[in-house]
Structure 1
Amino acid sequence: MKKNKAVLSCILVITLLVWALSGCSVTSYQENNSMDMVKVDTSSGVLQNRFPSEPMVKGSGEKFRIAYIDIDEYPVTGSMIYYVIESLKQDGWIEYDSLPMSADNVDAQKLIHWLSEQDLGPYLEFVSSANYYLAYEGEEAVAQSLRDHVENKKDIDVVFAMGTWPGTFAKNLDLDVPLLVYGTVDPVRAGIVQSAENSGDDMIWAQVDPSAFTRQLQFYYDTYPFTKIGMVYNDEIVAAVPDYERTAAENNFTIAKVRIGKLESNNPADQERYYADLKEVYRKMILEDKIDAYLINTDVITENDRMEDLFRVFHEHKIPIFVQVGDNYIENGAFMLVSPRDYKGLGAFVSYIVGATLNGAKPGELPQEYTSSPYLSINLDVADTIGFTPTFEMLLSSEYIYTGEKQEAAGEL
């Protein structure tokens, strides 16, 4: 997308001058919206004193070794692990000059493999042969490899699982090493942990934000009221469907739901068939279900270059596309994202959890609940297409404004 920085800057500067000269005050868009929240401060002395997390070597003097499990090369989880890695560096656990990819273009498995080949310092290393994509390698092969590492070679100190499927899979293996689960929509409903306050297992930790997606959909409805919103998903827990249904009931709008099978193949023919079927589902939602809004749920479209074609039918009917997670959707033609996940803040929180675990804390005793500070991303070209004019306050509070071919960081305007 092309940057229109000069135009946007002029608009905002002129508007600010008008407001200032008229004696009006500018109220932050986030002061009164439904996504306001308080973020956990993991740097506070209370947590640090109770659960030390400073870098250390194992009792034997060796490095700690981490196994990584993900689903596939999903941009959202790639960004999430990117900021965990950066925070581990900031906290002193690992050392490197710079990562070989940017935060918005991360293949998690390739990143972990790159890290496994580096000398990251005296404390920590990632294991190349314990770096898995479940969708491509399959549960049986991953289980066999991971059990061999943990039970026979005894060379894994922590298993880090990214997402609901990897989290439930790793939990069911019942390995005798700490399991840290990140990137799940609802680890409680998924059965990974018992509750936000108590994981129910000393060896398991999962990050929890109980109301993130109810707040998100409320914001979308308040911003652009609709009567029927469409959702296509492959797992209702991952897609936060129960949370969204609660918001729908409270506001008297309906959800048109379609459940489809998950794409678990990198075979080109399978992928073409999957996306052709998805395109037909979208067409029927618009023409037959008469939706007036759509929410793109996680894991349904995993390839950025597919989005323009898939989203075209929504644009033609002036239907806004809201996003559950992932700025990449906004960049490629969706309308708006209020992200319930502050990846940088969460990265620092998860890094602290890793450090505390390696210092000997039981994962089940560590705090799981982290409520992110939300951020807003909007695609102005799409807003224009569907006839929506964002307010001045909305533009001011946007973290990213997409227009043309690249995003505009609002703080630079």
Structure 2
Amino acid sequence: MKLERFIMQIGIVITIFLILLHSDPAICNNKFSTAPTTKPDGKPFKLGYLEGGPYKPYKQHLVAIITQLQDMGWIDKNLKIPRTSDDDTQTLWMWLAENVKGPYLVFDPTAYWTDKWNTKLRKDNKRKVLERLKKGDIDLIVAMGTWAGQDLANNEHHVPVVVCSTSDAVAAGIVKGVDDSGYDHVIAHLDPTRYERQVRLFHEIIGFHKLGVAYENSVAGRSYAALDDIKKAAKEKKFEIVSCYTLSDIPDTSEAEKSVVDCAEKLAPQIDAFYVTVQQGVTLKNLSNILKPLYEHKVPTFSMRGSEEVRYGVLLSIASAGYKYVGRFLAETIAKILNGAKPRDLPQVFEAPPKIAINLEAAQIIGWDPPVDVLAAADEIYQKIEKVDK
């Protein structure tokens, strides 16, 4: 038994090393230059931004991209990114517009759009953004999230689009496939097996038979939840998926939050594990409400989003080491495009180095004693459940 555990731990270490080697942007894909440059006329490149609405991971992705562009010399390294609210990209963008003076990049204050999770505003914004892109004064636009990617991945314009922070850009219809976006001017960050790997790991640790999954039953909602990946893991590991439908991508966040709590209460008596998916109603301030019925029924949980939710009460997760690595990948992608690379010619797949996280207080609440090998493989161990500042 000890030998088997030792072999398992060695296997985990080797796997993480290989992923790091495979994923390191410094090792992979050096065909195109990432050096800071200007347009042929000596002027800086003008950037734009579109998002579906306020969402913390969007802000985290944007900060990571800016930080890495600073490290690469595209933006003054002495500029200190200001602290703003967790999901507020607009204030950050306007600060960039005011403080980044070139010579390489300009963040256009008139080229920022957010749909605020409003379908009518989304339609209006799509029209406005496409009209602006057709004018030809924007050199590259960042499409943050599924809505933005869906609205800009088309042949109605030809401005380079870098799609970030989507659960599955292929399933959402943003790009045609893993190896080809389908559009010369579009590229989307993909990690096609990330969530399948998560669910597989969750099953190997817990050994559940019925996995509860709450998500909005729409193309976008199923994409956010990576439902296709969960189904692949379910087929391989022979467990049942127990679904419950929520509301997401709506103007009223409180209504979305209530729908997730309702699903947790409904599913808790029927399941022996719960996968906390990415959606509007899963917020840190709502997490304790979601987890309460799951704790009461001793249901182990796994966060799709990552270790931050483990800090606040989810039992387990595996996620990227912060946003540094994916930020570097996206920053280098932007740099290569501005240096003349065609987005379609660049690789879309980047697997960020993983981190395993566990919350020991959550384990105690549900009466689960973590095996020694799981603790040995954990990069982040939280002794207590932290409280969210209201």
User: TM-score normalized by structure 2?
Assistant: 0.87
Consecutive unaligned residues of structure 2, counting only runs of 5 or more, are none
- Correspondence list, 1:14-413, <5 A: 27=9, 30-31=12-13, 37-38=19-20, 39-44=22-27, 47-48=29-30, 50-95=31-76, 96-101=78-83, 105=86, 107-136=88-117, 138-152=121-135, 154-172=136-154, 174-234=156-216, 235-265=221-251, 270-287=252-269, 290-339=270-319, 343-404=323-384
Q: Secondary structure at the match of 2:13?
A: coil
What do residues 134-154 of structure 1 show as CA deviations (whole Å, max 9, x unaligned)? 2346223312332343223x3
8 Å Cα contact 1:130-1:145 kept in structure 2 = no
Pairwise CA distance, 1:25: 10
Two-structure CA RMSD over aligned residues (Å): 2.8
Q: Distance in 2 between matches of 1:47 and 1:81?
A: 22
Q: Distance in 2 between matches of 1:340 and 1:254?
A: 27
Q: Secondary structure at the match of 1:47?
A: coil
Consecutive unaligned residues of structure 1, counting only runs of 5 or more, are 1-18, 408-413
Pairwise CA distance, 1:123: 0.6
Pairwise CA distance, 1:75: 1.9
Pairwise CA distance, 1:361: 0.7
Aligned residues: 375
Q: Distance in 2 between matches of 1:35 and 1:230?
A: 32
What do residues 280-300 of structure 1 show as CA deviations (whole Å, max 9, x unaligned)? 22212123xx11111111114
Q: Secondary structure at the match of 1:56?
A: coil
What do residues 317-360 of structure 1 show as CA deviations (whole Å, max 9, x unaligned)? 11112111133322222111112676211111111110000011
User: Counterpart of 1:11?
Assistant: none
Q: Distance in 2 between matches of 1:33 and 1:43?
A: 19
Pairwise CA distance, 1:116: 1.7
AA partner of residue 86 (structure 1): T
AA partner of residue 219 (structure 1): L
AA partner of residue 233 (structure 1): Y
Q: Distance in 1 between matches of 2:335 and 2:259?
A: 45
Q: Distance in 2 between matches of 1:336 and 1:247?
A: 17
8 Å Cα contact 2:213-2:275 kept in structure 1 = yes
What do residues 88-124 of structure 1 show as CA deviations (whole Å, max 9, x unaligned)? 111111114321138x945333322221221353111
8 Å Cα contact 1:342-1:372 kept in structure 2 = no
Q: Secondary structure at the match of 1:237?
A: helix
Pairwise CA distance, 1:395: 3.5
User: TM-score normalized by structure 1?
Assistant: 0.83
What do residues 3-30 of structure 1 show as CA deviations (whole Å, max 9, x unaligned)? xxxxxxxxxxxxxxxx9xxxx9994572
Q: Secondary structure at the match of 1:65?
A: strand
Pairwise CA distance, 1:180: 0.9
AA partner of residue 118 (structure 1): N
8 Å Cα contact 1:30-1:36 kept in structure 2 = no
AA partner of residue 221 (structure 1): H
Q: Distance in 2 between matches of 1:217 and 1:370?
A: 19
